[in-house]
């Protein structure tokens, strides 16, 4: 009997809803008042058999808690409705969400590369994007007739000047020159930055891109140091077991020079369009700093030797994220950028 009543009133409480303060007060008096239903039921409960008391006690307490909780929550809702009506605000409307930004994929890759080299003691060095001929070409052993000096590759800003024509730097090697000119060995630094080339914009070329170069100058630095440093870098960036190979190459500022390939990160060497079915992809150029460059920067090339390397950040990001069109990096399309959400914000 008592159980039936409780069941019936429970349904009534659950079904009850109002935002009207008077109606809510009626509800309170009916169930929770000093002469209310709960008081009556508790009075009835006193008369039931001890056996029933054991089972009904818990049910009764839950019923009382339900009535109180329902009253409290409706009271809060009613108060909000009243106060928002007064202020003209509807505080029951859902809040406006805001998007958390995301790191640019190039910034992510740049940071990862810096972190790896910083473990080896390399510091970050930066320099100006507008450079003179000396820092961008001459000090780096570029011959006068070298095609990189040609108008087709370089954005010239001003002809002439104390240290030659002024141009947008075509590589971050200019920062190496500035560092060596103004300091004393040993040098152990990486130079990240934006560089400019006068090229038509397409999926595979752009008029600006990003490089990270590295320079290590000290006594008795050898090609073995270069190989081991870059081997470590590749294992850290692309995972253990990534193979490397060096191919002889030519750069004006290093001798000997090499290009370094890694086993294709996409197909693991089996062959795919990314590696043109060779199993290898080129990721950077490197070599021993040409003694002429050391001397140009005021460093005794008999006493000191060094290695340098340089890579395009876009190229590294390309292999990591399989971004096939360079133009995506500079279009700032939020749909593209949002894919690289990271906890490293």
**Site residues (vs Zn ion, CB under 5 A):** 264, 266-267, 272, 274-275
To Zn ion, the closest distance from the beta carbon of 105 in angstroms equals 20
To Zn ion, the closest distance from the beta carbon of 113 in angstroms equals 21
Q: Cα dihedral sign for 262, 339, 333, 124? A: negative
Max Cα-Cα span within the chain: 112
- Per residue in 117-144, is it b (16+ CB within 10 Å) or e — as a string? beeeebeebebeeebbbbbbbbbbbbee
| Residue showing the smallest CB distance to Zn ion in the complex | 264
To Zn ion, the closest distance from the beta carbon of 271 in angstroms equals 6
Q: Which is nearer to Zn ion, 13 or 274 (CB)?
A: 274
To Zn ion, the closest distance from the beta carbon of 319 in angstroms equals 10
Q: How far is CA 341 from the centre of its chain?
A: 6
Q: 């870098």: which residue's tokens?
A: 233
Q: Which is nearer to Zn ion, 107 or 274 (CB)?
A: 274
Q: Which is nearer to Zn ion, 215 or 281 (CB)?
A: 281
Pairing of strands 166-168, 123-124: unpaired
To Zn ion, the closest distance from the beta carbon of 280 in angstroms equals 8
Q: Which is nearer to Zn ion, 226 or 284 (CB)?
A: 284
Structure token digits, residue 51:
């056996």
**DSSP H/E element including 74:** helix 50-87
Count of CB atoms situated within 10 Å of the CB of 174? 25
Q: Which is nearer to Zn ion, 260 or 264 (CB)?
A: 264
Q: Which is nearer to Zn ion, 81 or 272 (CB)?
A: 272
To Zn ion, the closest distance from the beta carbon of 235 in angstroms equals 18
Contact by Cβ (8 Å): 137, 171: no
Q: Which is nearer to Zn ion, 148 or 267 (CB)?
A: 267
DSSP state of 106: H
In 172-221, which ranges are continuous DSSP H helix?
A: 173-182
To Zn ion, the closest distance from the beta carbon of 162 in angstroms equals 49
Contact by Cβ (8 Å): 64, 38: yes
Q: Which is nearer to Zn ion, 78 or 263 (CB)?
A: 263
Question: Could you give the 3-state DSSP secondary structure of residue 321?
Answer: helix
Q: What is the dihedral of CA 303, 309, 310, 316, to 10 degrees?
A: -160
Q: What is the dihedral of CA 99, 105, 108, 114, to 10 degrees?
A: -160
To Zn ion, the closest distance from the beta carbon of 210 in angstroms equals 23
């Amino acid at each position: 009997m008592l159980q039936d009543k409780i069941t019936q009133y429970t349904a009534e409480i659950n079904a009850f809803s109002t935002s009207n303060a008077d109606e809510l007060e009626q509800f309170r008096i009916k169930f929770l008042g000093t002469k209310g239903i709960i008081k009556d039921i508790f009075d009835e409960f006193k008369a039931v058999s001890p056996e029933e008391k054991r089972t009904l006690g818990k049910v009764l307490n839950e019923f009382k808690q339900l009535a109180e909780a329902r009253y409290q929550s409706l009271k809060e809702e009613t108060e909000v409705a009243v106060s928002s009506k007064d202020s003209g605000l509807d505080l029951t409307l859902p809040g406006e969400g805001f998007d958390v930004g995301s790191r640019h994929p190039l910034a992510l890759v740049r940071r990862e590369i810096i972190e790896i080299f910083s473990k080896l003691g390399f510091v970050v060095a930066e320099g100006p994007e507008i450079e003179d001929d000396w820092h961008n070409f001459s000090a780096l052993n570029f011959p006068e007739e070298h095609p990189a000096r040609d108008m087709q590759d370089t954005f010239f800003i001003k002809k002439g000047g104390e240290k030659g024509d002024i141009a947008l730097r075509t590589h971050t090697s200019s920062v190496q020159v500035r560092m060596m000119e103004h300091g004393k060995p040993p040098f152990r630094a990486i130079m990240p930055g934006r560089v400019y080339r006068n090229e038509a914009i397409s999926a595979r070329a752009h008029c600006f891109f990003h490089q990270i170069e590295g320079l290590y100058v000290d006594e008795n630095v050898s090609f073995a140091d270069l190989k081991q440093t870059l081997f470590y870098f590749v294992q850290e960036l692309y995972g253990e077991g990534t193979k490397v190979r060096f191919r002889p190459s030519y750069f004006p500022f290093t001798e000997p020079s090499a290009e370094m390939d890694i086993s294709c990160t996409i197909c693991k060497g089996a062959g795919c369009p990314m590696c043109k079915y060779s199993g290898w992809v080129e990721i950077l150029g490197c070599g021993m700093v040409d003694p002429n460059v050391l001397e140009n920067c005021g460093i005794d090339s008999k006493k000191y030797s060094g290695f340098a390397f340089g890579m395009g950040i876009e190229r590294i990001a390309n292999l990591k994220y399989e971004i096939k069109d360079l133009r995506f990096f500079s279009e700032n399309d939020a749909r593209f950028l949002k894919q690289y959400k990271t906890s490293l914000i």
